[in-house]
Structure 1
Protein backbone atom coordinates (compact mmCIF):
# COMPACT_ATOMS: atom_id res chain seq x y z
CA UNK A 1 0.00 0.00 0.00
CA UNK A 2 1.16 3.52 -0.81
CA UNK A 3 0.22 6.42 1.45
CA UNK A 4 0.54 9.98 0.12
CA UNK A 5 0.68 13.16 2.19
CA UNK A 6 0.10 16.51 0.49
CA UNK A 7 0.69 19.76 2.42
CA UNK A 8 2.12 22.14 -0.20
CA UNK A 9 -1.15 23.38 -1.73
CA UNK A 10 -2.40 25.09 1.46
CA UNK A 11 -4.21 21.99 2.64
CA UNK A 12 -3.65 18.83 4.61
CA UNK A 13 -4.49 15.84 2.46
CA UNK A 14 -3.80 12.14 3.04
CA UNK A 15 -4.65 9.21 0.76
CA UNK A 16 -3.98 5.48 0.67
CA UNK A 17 -3.98 3.35 -2.45
CA UNK A 18 -3.39 -0.29 -3.25
CA UNK A 19 -0.19 -1.20 -5.05
CA UNK A 20 1.86 -4.23 -5.89
CA UNK A 21 4.38 -2.21 -7.89
CA UNK A 22 8.09 -2.81 -7.83
CA UNK A 23 10.68 -0.67 -9.64
CA UNK A 24 10.48 -1.52 -13.34
CA UNK A 25 12.58 -0.52 -16.35
CA UNK A 26 10.97 2.54 -17.92
CA UNK A 27 10.52 0.81 -21.27
CA UNK A 28 8.37 -1.86 -19.60
CA UNK A 29 5.90 0.59 -18.04
CA UNK A 30 2.53 0.81 -19.71
CA UNK A 31 1.26 4.40 -19.28
CA UNK A 32 -2.23 3.16 -20.14
CA UNK A 33 -2.44 1.17 -16.91
CA UNK A 34 -5.55 2.10 -14.92
CA UNK A 35 -5.32 4.69 -12.17
CA UNK A 36 -4.39 3.31 -8.75
CA UNK A 37 -7.19 2.01 -6.56
CA UNK A 38 -7.58 4.71 -3.92
CA UNK A 39 -8.73 3.06 -0.71
CA UNK A 40 -9.33 6.21 1.34
CA UNK A 41 -8.66 9.94 1.18
CA UNK A 42 -9.14 12.85 3.58
CA UNK A 43 -8.53 16.54 2.84
CA UNK A 44 -8.76 19.63 5.02
CA UNK A 45 -8.40 22.98 3.28
CA UNK A 46 -6.16 25.71 4.69
CA UNK A 47 -2.55 25.79 5.83
CA UNK A 48 -3.22 26.40 9.52
CA UNK A 49 -3.06 23.38 11.77
CA UNK A 50 -1.30 21.07 9.31
CA UNK A 51 1.15 19.92 11.98
CA UNK A 52 -1.66 19.00 14.36
CA UNK A 53 -3.97 17.56 11.70
CA UNK A 54 -1.74 15.31 9.62
CA UNK A 55 -1.24 12.35 11.99
CA UNK A 56 -4.91 12.11 13.11
CA UNK A 57 -5.90 12.29 9.44
CA UNK A 58 -3.43 9.52 8.66
CA UNK A 59 -4.98 7.38 11.41
CA UNK A 60 -8.41 8.03 9.93
CA UNK A 61 -7.37 7.12 6.41
CA UNK A 62 -5.72 3.87 7.56
CA UNK A 63 -8.84 3.00 9.57
CA UNK A 64 -11.05 3.68 6.56
CA UNK A 65 -8.78 1.52 4.42
CA UNK A 66 -8.92 -1.17 7.13
CA UNK A 67 -5.14 -1.41 7.10
CA UNK A 68 -2.47 -1.14 9.81
CA UNK A 69 0.48 1.18 9.30
CA UNK A 70 2.67 -1.93 8.85
CA UNK A 71 0.90 -2.47 5.49
CA UNK A 72 2.40 0.73 4.09
CA UNK A 73 5.21 -0.11 1.65
CA UNK A 74 5.76 3.36 0.14
CA UNK A 75 5.39 6.88 1.60
CA UNK A 76 4.83 9.70 -0.91
CA UNK A 77 4.91 13.46 -0.44
CA UNK A 78 5.05 16.67 -2.45
CA UNK A 79 8.66 17.80 -2.25
CA UNK A 80 8.02 21.36 -3.46
CA UNK A 81 8.53 23.98 -4.63
CA UNK A 82 5.92 25.97 -2.76
CA UNK A 83 5.26 27.43 0.66
CA UNK A 84 8.20 26.74 2.96
CA UNK A 85 6.12 25.60 5.94
CA UNK A 86 3.99 23.20 3.89
CA UNK A 87 7.04 21.60 2.29
CA UNK A 88 8.78 21.30 5.64
CA UNK A 89 5.79 19.67 7.38
CA UNK A 90 5.10 17.09 4.67
CA UNK A 91 8.75 16.18 4.24
CA UNK A 92 9.44 15.85 7.97
CA UNK A 93 6.37 13.69 8.61
CA UNK A 94 7.17 11.31 5.75
CA UNK A 95 10.82 11.07 6.77
CA UNK A 96 9.81 10.11 10.30
CA UNK A 97 7.24 7.56 9.12
CA UNK A 98 9.73 6.07 6.68
CA UNK A 99 12.23 5.54 9.47
CA UNK A 100 9.55 4.12 11.75
CA UNK A 101 8.48 1.30 9.44
CA UNK A 102 11.60 1.03 7.28
CA UNK A 103 10.11 1.58 3.82
CA UNK A 104 11.10 3.99 1.02
CA UNK A 105 9.83 7.46 0.20
CA UNK A 106 8.88 9.08 -3.09
CA UNK A 107 9.11 12.87 -3.36
CA UNK A 108 6.97 14.29 -6.18
CA UNK A 109 7.32 17.76 -7.67
CA UNK A 110 4.38 20.00 -6.81
CA UNK A 111 4.67 21.54 -10.28
CA UNK A 112 4.58 18.12 -11.93
CA UNK A 113 1.54 17.25 -9.80
CA UNK A 114 -0.29 20.32 -11.08
CA UNK A 115 0.52 19.39 -14.66
CA UNK A 116 -0.41 15.72 -14.26
CA UNK A 117 -3.71 16.56 -12.56
CA UNK A 118 -4.57 18.80 -15.51
CA UNK A 119 -3.63 16.00 -17.92
CA UNK A 120 -6.02 13.57 -16.24
CA UNK A 121 -8.95 15.89 -15.47
CA UNK A 122 -8.99 17.45 -18.94
CA UNK A 123 -7.87 14.40 -20.94
CA UNK A 124 -5.02 16.34 -22.56
CA UNK A 125 -3.47 14.82 -25.67
CA UNK A 126 0.10 13.79 -26.39
CA UNK A 127 2.24 16.75 -27.42
CA UNK A 128 0.38 19.21 -25.19
CA UNK A 129 2.82 21.62 -23.51
CA UNK A 130 1.87 22.45 -19.93
CA UNK A 131 3.25 25.28 -17.81
CA UNK A 132 2.66 24.86 -14.07
CA UNK A 133 2.99 28.26 -12.39
CA UNK A 134 2.85 28.90 -8.64
CA UNK A 135 3.13 32.28 -6.96
CA UNK A 136 6.51 32.36 -5.17
CA UNK A 137 5.97 35.88 -3.76
CA UNK A 138 8.77 38.46 -3.92
CA UNK A 139 7.64 39.25 -7.49
CA UNK A 140 8.51 35.79 -8.78
CA UNK A 141 6.75 32.55 -9.69
CA UNK A 142 7.83 28.92 -9.63
CA UNK A 143 7.62 27.62 -13.19
CA UNK A 144 7.58 23.99 -14.30
CA UNK A 145 7.51 23.20 -18.03
CA UNK A 146 6.21 19.82 -19.16
CA UNK A 147 4.99 18.05 -22.28
CA UNK A 148 2.74 14.99 -22.55
CA UNK A 149 4.45 12.03 -24.19
CA UNK A 150 3.04 8.51 -24.45
CA UNK A 151 0.23 9.44 -22.10
CA UNK A 152 2.46 10.80 -19.31
CA UNK A 153 3.98 14.15 -18.46
CA UNK A 154 7.68 14.55 -19.01
CA UNK A 155 10.14 17.41 -18.63
CA UNK A 156 10.09 19.89 -21.48
CA UNK A 157 13.80 20.35 -22.12
CA UNK A 158 13.66 23.12 -24.75
CA UNK A 159 16.80 24.81 -23.53
CA UNK A 160 15.50 25.68 -20.07
CA UNK A 161 15.50 23.88 -16.74
CA UNK A 162 12.25 22.05 -16.13
CA UNK A 163 11.70 23.87 -12.81
CA UNK A 164 12.89 27.41 -12.18
CA UNK A 165 12.06 30.82 -10.81
CA UNK A 166 10.62 33.39 -13.20
CA UNK A 167 9.95 37.07 -12.55
CA UNK A 168 6.39 38.39 -12.58
CA UNK A 169 5.31 39.22 -16.14
CA UNK A 170 7.89 36.80 -17.51
CA UNK A 171 6.87 34.87 -20.62
CA UNK A 172 5.81 31.23 -20.64
CA UNK A 173 5.36 29.23 -23.83
CA UNK A 174 2.72 26.54 -23.41
CA UNK A 175 -0.61 25.28 -24.69
CA UNK A 176 -2.03 24.94 -21.17
CA UNK A 177 -1.21 26.95 -18.04
CA UNK A 178 -2.19 25.83 -14.53
CA UNK A 179 -1.57 27.08 -11.01
CA UNK A 180 -2.22 30.16 -8.90
CA UNK A 181 0.51 32.11 -10.69
CA UNK A 182 -1.11 31.93 -14.13
CA UNK A 183 -2.32 35.53 -13.89
CA UNK A 184 1.15 36.77 -12.95
CA UNK A 185 2.91 35.82 -16.22
CA UNK A 186 2.56 36.53 -19.92
CA UNK A 187 1.80 33.91 -22.57
CA UNK A 188 3.85 33.48 -25.74
CA UNK A 189 0.95 31.44 -27.12
CA UNK A 190 -2.09 33.71 -27.32
CA UNK A 191 -4.33 30.64 -27.55
CA UNK A 192 -3.05 29.08 -24.34
CA UNK A 193 -5.76 27.74 -22.04
CA UNK A 194 -5.78 28.48 -18.32
CA UNK A 195 -7.17 25.48 -16.44
CA UNK A 196 -8.25 25.45 -12.80
CA UNK A 197 -6.92 22.36 -11.00
CA UNK A 198 -6.54 21.62 -7.30
CA UNK A 199 -4.49 18.45 -6.67
CA UNK A 200 -4.99 16.48 -3.48
CA UNK A 201 -3.29 13.39 -2.02
CA UNK A 202 -5.37 11.07 -4.22
CA UNK A 203 -3.90 12.77 -7.29
CA UNK A 204 -0.47 12.44 -5.71
CA UNK A 205 -0.81 8.64 -5.44
CA UNK A 206 -1.05 8.31 -9.22
CA UNK A 207 2.11 10.26 -10.02
CA UNK A 208 4.01 8.77 -7.07
CA UNK A 209 3.31 5.22 -8.23
CA UNK A 210 4.41 6.02 -11.77
CA UNK A 211 7.58 7.67 -10.47
CA UNK A 212 8.30 4.74 -8.15
CA UNK A 213 7.89 2.29 -11.02
CA UNK A 214 10.41 4.23 -13.10
CA UNK A 215 12.96 5.22 -10.46
CA UNK A 216 12.25 3.38 -7.22
CA UNK A 217 12.12 5.11 -3.85
CA UNK A 218 14.71 6.70 -1.59
CA UNK A 219 15.58 6.37 2.08
CA UNK A 220 14.35 8.90 4.61
CA UNK A 221 17.65 10.80 4.70
CA UNK A 222 17.46 11.24 0.93
CA UNK A 223 13.81 12.34 0.89
CA UNK A 224 14.73 15.97 0.43
CA UNK A 225 12.60 19.07 -0.16
CA UNK A 226 13.01 21.37 -3.16
CA UNK A 227 12.62 25.10 -2.53
CA UNK A 228 14.25 26.60 -5.70
CA UNK A 229 14.88 29.75 -3.67
CA UNK A 230 17.90 29.08 -1.44
CA UNK A 231 16.97 31.62 1.24
CA UNK A 232 13.30 30.63 1.45
CA UNK A 233 13.38 30.42 5.25
CA UNK A 234 14.52 34.02 5.73
CA UNK A 235 12.20 36.93 6.42
CA UNK A 236 11.62 39.51 3.69
CA UNK A 237 13.74 42.04 5.61
CA UNK A 238 16.60 39.55 5.84
CA UNK A 239 16.39 38.96 2.10
CA UNK A 240 16.32 42.68 1.38
CA UNK A 241 12.96 42.34 -0.34
CA UNK A 242 9.84 44.41 -0.11
CA UNK A 243 6.64 42.69 1.06
Structure 2
Protein backbone atom coordinates (compact mmCIF):
# COMPACT_ATOMS: atom_id res chain seq x y z
CA UNK A 1 0.00 0.00 0.00
CA UNK A 2 1.25 3.47 -0.95
CA UNK A 3 -0.06 6.53 0.89
CA UNK A 4 0.61 10.26 0.49
CA UNK A 5 -0.40 12.50 3.41
CA UNK A 6 -0.42 16.29 3.81
CA UNK A 7 -1.27 18.70 6.62
CA UNK A 8 -1.41 22.50 6.89
CA UNK A 9 -3.97 22.93 9.69
CA UNK A 10 -1.61 24.72 12.10
CA UNK A 11 1.54 26.83 11.89
CA UNK A 12 3.34 23.70 10.70
CA UNK A 13 3.35 22.36 7.16
CA UNK A 14 4.12 18.71 6.53
CA UNK A 15 3.90 15.90 4.03
CA UNK A 16 4.60 12.19 4.32
CA UNK A 17 4.74 9.19 2.03
CA UNK A 18 4.40 5.57 3.06
CA UNK A 19 5.55 2.89 0.64
CA UNK A 20 5.12 -0.71 1.77
CA UNK A 21 5.14 0.30 5.46
CA UNK A 22 8.19 2.55 5.19
CA UNK A 23 7.44 6.21 5.92
CA UNK A 24 9.37 9.26 4.75
CA UNK A 25 8.29 12.76 5.75
CA UNK A 26 9.09 16.48 5.68
CA UNK A 27 8.01 18.82 8.48
CA UNK A 28 8.49 22.56 8.81
CA UNK A 29 7.02 25.26 11.03
CA UNK A 30 6.35 28.03 8.52
CA UNK A 31 3.38 30.26 9.38
CA UNK A 32 1.60 31.77 6.37
CA UNK A 33 3.83 29.94 3.89
CA UNK A 34 1.87 26.71 3.53
CA UNK A 35 0.62 27.33 0.01
CA UNK A 36 4.18 27.95 -1.18
CA UNK A 37 5.82 25.10 0.76
CA UNK A 38 3.46 22.15 0.50
CA UNK A 39 3.59 21.14 -3.16
CA UNK A 40 7.41 21.29 -3.31
CA UNK A 41 7.42 19.01 -0.24
CA UNK A 42 5.14 16.56 -2.04
CA UNK A 43 7.29 16.65 -5.18
CA UNK A 44 10.46 16.07 -3.17
CA UNK A 45 8.98 13.09 -1.32
CA UNK A 46 7.68 11.48 -4.50
CA UNK A 47 10.99 11.93 -6.27
CA UNK A 48 13.24 10.60 -3.54
CA UNK A 49 10.98 7.59 -3.01
CA UNK A 50 10.75 6.91 -6.76
CA UNK A 51 7.00 7.37 -6.88
CA UNK A 52 4.51 9.46 -8.83
CA UNK A 53 0.96 10.48 -7.98
CA UNK A 54 -0.19 7.76 -10.35
CA UNK A 55 1.49 5.06 -8.24
CA UNK A 56 -0.03 6.29 -4.95
CA UNK A 57 -3.03 4.28 -3.73
CA UNK A 58 -4.55 6.74 -1.21
CA UNK A 59 -4.36 10.47 -0.57
CA UNK A 60 -4.65 11.62 3.05
CA UNK A 61 -5.16 15.14 4.40
CA UNK A 62 -5.43 16.86 7.76
CA UNK A 63 -9.13 17.68 7.86
CA UNK A 64 -8.88 19.99 10.88
CA UNK A 65 -9.70 21.44 13.27
CA UNK A 66 -7.14 24.18 13.17
CA UNK A 67 -6.47 27.43 11.37
CA UNK A 68 -9.37 28.15 9.03
CA UNK A 69 -7.00 29.19 6.26
CA UNK A 70 -4.71 26.23 6.88
CA UNK A 71 -7.54 23.71 6.76
CA UNK A 72 -8.81 25.25 3.53
CA UNK A 73 -5.34 25.01 1.98
CA UNK A 74 -4.93 21.30 2.72
CA UNK A 75 -8.47 20.57 1.59
CA UNK A 76 -8.04 22.51 -1.64
CA UNK A 77 -4.69 20.95 -2.46
CA UNK A 78 -5.91 17.42 -1.80
CA UNK A 79 -8.87 18.16 -4.06
CA UNK A 80 -6.50 19.18 -6.82
CA UNK A 81 -4.33 16.10 -6.40
CA UNK A 82 -7.31 13.76 -6.25
CA UNK A 83 -9.13 15.31 -9.19
CA UNK A 84 -6.11 14.78 -11.39
CA UNK A 85 -5.63 11.16 -10.36
CA UNK A 86 -9.08 9.95 -9.23
CA UNK A 87 -7.47 8.56 -6.09
CA UNK A 88 -9.57 7.85 -2.96
CA UNK A 89 -9.13 10.31 -0.09
CA UNK A 90 -8.96 9.89 3.68
CA UNK A 91 -9.44 12.80 6.08
CA UNK A 92 -7.64 12.56 9.42
CA UNK A 93 -8.25 14.70 12.50
CA UNK A 94 -5.53 17.20 13.37
CA UNK A 95 -6.06 16.43 17.05
CA UNK A 96 -5.88 12.67 16.52
CA UNK A 97 -2.67 13.10 14.54
CA UNK A 98 -0.92 14.73 17.48
CA UNK A 99 -2.24 12.10 19.88
CA UNK A 100 -0.97 9.39 17.54
CA UNK A 101 2.48 10.96 17.45
CA UNK A 102 2.53 10.98 21.26
CA UNK A 103 1.67 7.28 21.27
CA UNK A 104 4.31 6.51 18.66
CA UNK A 105 6.97 8.37 20.64
CA UNK A 106 6.06 7.67 24.27
CA UNK A 107 3.47 4.85 24.32
CA UNK A 108 1.27 7.17 26.40
CA UNK A 109 -2.09 5.80 27.56
CA UNK A 110 -4.18 8.98 27.95
CA UNK A 111 -3.44 11.99 25.75
CA UNK A 112 -5.08 15.42 25.97
CA UNK A 113 -4.83 17.62 22.89
CA UNK A 114 -5.64 21.34 22.78
CA UNK A 115 -4.92 23.70 19.89
CA UNK A 116 -5.26 27.42 20.55
CA UNK A 117 -8.40 28.50 18.68
CA UNK A 118 -8.06 32.18 19.67
CA UNK A 119 -11.03 34.07 21.15
CA UNK A 120 -10.32 32.42 24.54
CA UNK A 121 -11.06 28.93 23.22
CA UNK A 122 -9.20 25.79 22.25
CA UNK A 123 -9.91 22.87 19.94
CA UNK A 124 -9.91 20.03 22.43
CA UNK A 125 -10.12 16.23 22.52
CA UNK A 126 -9.05 13.34 24.70
CA UNK A 127 -7.55 10.14 23.27
CA UNK A 128 -6.75 6.74 24.69
CA UNK A 129 -4.08 4.40 23.39
CA UNK A 130 -5.82 1.28 22.12
CA UNK A 131 -3.50 -1.20 20.43
CA UNK A 132 -1.08 1.64 19.64
CA UNK A 133 -3.74 3.73 17.93
CA UNK A 134 -5.22 7.04 19.13
CA UNK A 135 -8.91 6.43 19.86
CA UNK A 136 -11.18 9.39 20.57
CA UNK A 137 -12.87 9.59 23.97
CA UNK A 138 -16.06 11.61 23.69
CA UNK A 139 -15.92 14.14 20.87
CA UNK A 140 -13.79 16.89 19.41
CA UNK A 141 -14.96 20.26 20.70
CA UNK A 142 -14.16 23.96 20.71
CA UNK A 143 -14.28 25.07 24.35
CA UNK A 144 -13.14 27.70 26.80
CA UNK A 145 -10.42 26.70 29.26
CA UNK A 146 -12.82 26.31 32.20
CA UNK A 147 -14.95 23.85 30.22
CA UNK A 148 -11.85 21.85 29.30
CA UNK A 149 -10.81 21.63 32.95
CA UNK A 150 -14.22 20.17 33.82
CA UNK A 151 -13.62 17.36 31.33
CA UNK A 152 -10.15 16.50 32.65
CA UNK A 153 -11.25 14.19 35.43
CA UNK A 154 -8.15 11.98 34.98
CA UNK A 155 -4.61 13.30 34.68
CA UNK A 156 -3.34 12.82 31.11
CA UNK A 157 0.01 11.15 30.53
CA UNK A 158 0.89 13.62 27.78
CA UNK A 159 -0.31 17.03 26.65
CA UNK A 160 -0.19 18.00 22.98
CA UNK A 161 -0.87 21.28 21.24
CA UNK A 162 -0.43 25.02 21.60
CA UNK A 163 -3.55 25.51 23.70
CA UNK A 164 -2.05 24.39 27.00
CA UNK A 165 0.44 27.25 27.17
CA UNK A 166 -1.86 29.86 25.65
CA UNK A 167 -4.10 30.35 28.70
CA UNK A 168 -3.29 30.90 32.36
CA UNK A 169 -6.15 28.61 33.41
CA UNK A 170 -4.10 25.60 32.29
CA UNK A 171 -1.07 26.34 34.49
CA UNK A 172 -1.89 23.60 37.03
CA UNK A 173 -2.52 21.03 34.30
CA UNK A 174 0.84 21.77 32.70
CA UNK A 175 2.55 21.66 36.10
CA UNK A 176 1.15 18.18 36.74
CA UNK A 177 1.43 16.62 33.27
CA UNK A 178 4.48 18.49 31.97
CA UNK A 179 4.99 20.85 29.07
CA UNK A 180 3.34 19.77 25.79
CA UNK A 181 5.69 17.39 24.03
CA UNK A 182 4.10 17.92 20.62
CA UNK A 183 2.88 21.35 19.51
CA UNK A 184 1.90 20.69 15.90
CA UNK A 185 0.68 17.73 13.84
CA UNK A 186 3.09 15.87 11.59
CA UNK A 187 1.84 14.03 8.52
CA UNK A 188 3.98 11.01 9.39
CA UNK A 189 1.70 10.35 12.38
CA UNK A 190 -1.32 10.35 10.07
CA UNK A 191 -0.18 7.17 8.34
CA UNK A 192 -1.23 4.57 10.98
CA UNK A 193 -4.56 6.35 11.45
CA UNK A 194 -5.08 6.37 7.69
CA UNK A 195 -4.28 2.65 7.43
CA UNK A 196 -6.88 1.95 10.12
CA UNK A 197 -9.46 4.12 8.32
CA UNK A 198 -8.76 2.39 5.00
CA UNK A 199 -9.19 -1.00 6.66
CA UNK A 200 -12.61 0.12 7.88
CA UNK A 201 -13.47 1.49 4.41
CA UNK A 202 -13.67 5.02 5.84
CA UNK A 203 -12.62 6.50 2.51
CA UNK A 204 -14.20 9.19 0.32
CA UNK A 205 -14.09 10.24 -3.27
CA UNK A 206 -12.89 13.77 -3.89
CA UNK A 207 -16.39 15.21 -4.27
CA UNK A 208 -17.40 14.21 -0.77
CA UNK A 209 -14.42 15.19 1.37
CA UNK A 210 -15.23 17.47 4.27
CA UNK A 211 -12.98 19.72 6.34
CA UNK A 212 -13.78 20.05 10.05
CA UNK A 213 -13.76 23.52 11.58
CA UNK A 214 -15.84 22.89 14.75
CA UNK A 215 -16.98 26.52 14.68
CA UNK A 216 -20.37 26.71 12.98
CA UNK A 217 -19.76 30.22 11.65
CA UNK A 218 -17.29 28.86 9.10
CA UNK A 219 -18.68 27.13 6.03
CA UNK A 220 -16.98 25.20 3.26
CA UNK A 221 -17.91 25.54 -0.39
CA UNK A 222 -17.84 22.22 -2.18
CA UNK A 223 -16.55 21.79 -5.69
CA UNK A 224 -18.48 23.68 -8.40
CA UNK A 225 -21.67 21.89 -9.32
CA UNK A 226 -21.84 19.97 -6.03
CA UNK A 227 -24.57 20.71 -3.50
Task: Please name the residue that 2:225 is paired with.
Answer: none
User: Cα distance 1:57–1:191, how it changes in 2: closer, same or farther (>3 A)?
Assistant: closer
Task: Please name the residue that 1:17 is paired with.
Answer: 18
Kept in 1: contact 2:164–2:180 (CA 8 A): no
User: Cα distance 1:43–1:152, how it changes in 2: closer, same or farther (>3 A)?
Assistant: closer
2:191 to 205, 209, 212: 205
| In 1, Cα distance between equivalents of 2:161 and 2:214 | 17
SS in 2 for 1:88: helix
| In 1, Cα distance between equivalents of 2:195 and 2:31 | 26
Over aligned residue pairs, what C-alpha RMSD do you find?
2.1
Kept in 1: contact 2:104–2:132 (CA 8 A): no
| In 2, Cα distance between equivalents of 1:190 and 1:57 | 37
User: Cα distance 1:190–1:64, how it changes in 2: closer, same or farther (>3 A)?
Assistant: closer
Task: Please name the residue that 1:101 is paired with.
Answer: 85
Q: Give 1:6 shift.
A: 1.2
- Show CA shifts across 1:169-221 (max 9, x none): 43141423221111335467984344311432222223222222223311112
| In 2, Cα distance between equivalents of 1:148 and 1:15 | 22
| In 2, Cα distance between equivalents of 1:10 and 1:101 | 28
| In 1, Cα distance between equivalents of 2:174 and 2:201 | 33
- Show CA shifts across 1:116-141 (max 9, x none): 111111122xxx32211010001111
| In 1, Cα distance between equivalents of 2:9 and 2:173 | 28
Task: Please name the residue that 1:23 is paired with.
Answer: none
- Show CA shifts across 1:82-125 (max 9, x none): 0011100001111121121111111000011111111111122x
Task: Please name the residue that 1:192 is paired with.
Answer: 177
Q: How does 1:160-239 map to 2 (within 5 A)?
A: 162-170=139-147, 171=149, 172-173=151-152, 174-175=155-156, 176-183=158-165, 184=167, 185-186=169-170, 191-197=176-182, 198-232=184-218
The structure with the largest helix share of the pair is 2
> TM-score normalized by structure 2?
0.83
| In 1, Cα distance between equivalents of 2:185 and 2:64 | 13
Kept in 2: contact 1:118–1:195 (CA 8 A): no
> TM-score normalized by structure 1?
0.78
